Amino acid sequence: MPHPTLAHPLHTREQLTTLVENRTVYSLDAFELNVFETHRVAEQVPLSMGHLVLTTMLRGKKVMHLPGRPAFDYLPGESVLVGEDQTMVIDFPEATEDAPTQCLAVAIPTDTIRHTVDLLNEEYPHAEAHLPWHLDTTEHAHLTNSPELTGTLERLVQLSRDTGRVKDVLANFTIQEMLVRLMQTQARQLLFHNYARHATSHRFAAVVQYIKQHLADKLTIDKLSNLACMSKATFFRVFRQELGITPVEYINQERLAEAKRLLRQPLTSVADVCYRVGFTSTAYFQRLFKQAEGLTPGAYRKRCL
């Protein structure tokens, strides 16, 4: 299935108190959820939350300025992790009343973060001891949401509106899950996009590099676990634990990404693409592709050509 997307209703003009970063706050014991809307063009708007904050774009476009890095476009389906001592400075180059920007900001108490990170490092340590569980507010602070992270954020939004008596209990569990999903998403970004830099120091980076270089080959868990110097069971469990995705799911993800690239070339058939990226069954390839993209390989190719 296509990745889930977050949604939150917009305010009417009469409900707004300001056209720039109108703020709606939902306060729970475990976290504070803010919804910001901007309905006109604005520049250099400062925002500081006083906590570590996970922001997630829902609509429109911002340009973010964070300390120590170049400005960057911020779009729906993306998140930015902002440290408690950081101030965001934001431009809204395209916001209008008909097409406003909308963004979530989840403020997370320091104690919750410390407790979750300590628990993971004690009970579920990473394969590489020099890379413990942690939240990165620098190099990998800007990230593309994984489906799992998006789903957890959606549950946080639902809990914020809930009036049930146990919502704060559920919120405690859900904010911890969100932190885990966030760290897994950052780990995926680190390894899947920078594997070559870490291939000699991180066994999973070496695995990722091997997968990318041998997509058309038969890729077995035996081979990959040997490469990681782990038993099959340990490799499968720790890979999924650290990255939030199984090795098989990652292989299929990479094969489908390469298939999309090949399908945009006019002289390749769907069957040829299937075998060139390592699938041995066209029916299985067709089914996986439609689950991931919402349309068949043939329909995708017609749309692109």
CA distance linking residue 264 with residue 303, whole number of Å: 9
> Tokens 């058939």 — which residue?
269
Residues 6 or more apart whose CB falls under 8 angstroms from that of 118 comprise none
pLDDT given for residue 3 in this prediction: 46
The answer to whether 13-193 and 195-305 have equal CATH topology is: no
Alpha helices in the chain (DSSP H): 110-123, 147-161, 167-193, 195-198, 203-213, 221-227, 232-243, 247-263, 270-276, 282-293, 297-304
Residues 6 or more apart whose CB falls under 8 angstroms from that of 30 comprise 109, 112, 168, 171, 172, 174, 175
C-alpha triplet 267, 270, 274: angle, nearest 5°: 115
pLDDT given for residue 5 in this prediction: 60
* pTM of the model as a whole: 0.89
Q: What are the boundaries of each domain within the chain?
A: 13-193, 195-305
- Give buried/exposed letters for 2-14 (b at 16+ CB in 10 A, else e): eeeebebeeeeee
> Which architecture characterizes domain 195-305 according to CATH?
Orthogonal Bundle (1.10)
For 13-193, CATH number?
Answer: 2.60.120.280
What is the pLDDT tens value at each position of the chain, 305 positions in all? 444 567 788 888 888 999 999 999 999 988 999 999 999 999 999 999 888 999 999 999 999 999 888 999 999 999 999 999 899 999 999 999 999 999 999 999 999 999 999 999 999 999 998 889 999 998 889 999 999 999 999 999 999 888 877 888 999 999 999 999 999 999 999 899 889 998 888 999 999 999 999 999 999 999 999 999 999 999 999 999 999 999 999 999 999 999 999 999 988 899 999 999 999 999 999 999 999 999 999 999 989 87
pLDDT given for residue 154 in this prediction: 94
pLDDT given for residue 284 in this prediction: 96
Polymer length in residues for the chain: 305
pLDDT digits (tens, 9 = 90+) for 133-179: 999 998 889 999 999 999 999 999 999 888 877 888 999 999 999 99
